[in-house]
Amino acid sequence: MTNTGMAEFEARVGAEGYKVVPRELGPNEGLGDHTHDFDAWGLVTSGEFHITIDGKTTIYGTGDEFKLPAGCLHSEKSGPAGVTFLAGRRQNP
């Protein structure tokens, strides 16, 4: 993932009220079912990120974006090589 692509993502989600923080997970690391009290909008910068909602897993790779509304029950896990991503978070009133 290029720095330009990451900067464009940060500018785009920032304009929508999201604060962006870099995240990294080791190989096959993650969390079981949980929710967030914020809207999430992410960009995978390397590796794979697996998100499962209602029993359906979607695998996001480098350059893919994902969105999760606040309160969405999901689980998340990195792929076998781990994952790095930019995590945009926007608090819900």
Domains of the chain by residue range: 3-91
Flag whether the pTM goes above 0.85.
Answer: yes
pLDDT score for 1? 75
pLDDT recorded at residue 92: 75
Topology of domain 3-91 in CATH is Jelly Rolls (2.60.120)
Strand partners, 81: none
- Separation between Cα atoms, residue 76 and residue 32, nearest integer Å: 7
With 0-12 CB in 10 A as exposed, 13-18 as middle and 19+ as buried, what is 42? buried
- pLDDT at residue number 93: 63
Give pLDDT tens digits for 37-76. Answer: 999 999 999 999 999 999 999 999 999 999 999 999 999 9
Q: What is the pLDDT of residues 75-92, one digit of tens each?
A: 999 999 999 999 999 997
**Tens of pLDDT, residues 7-44:** 999 999 999 999 999 999 999 999 999 999 999 999 99
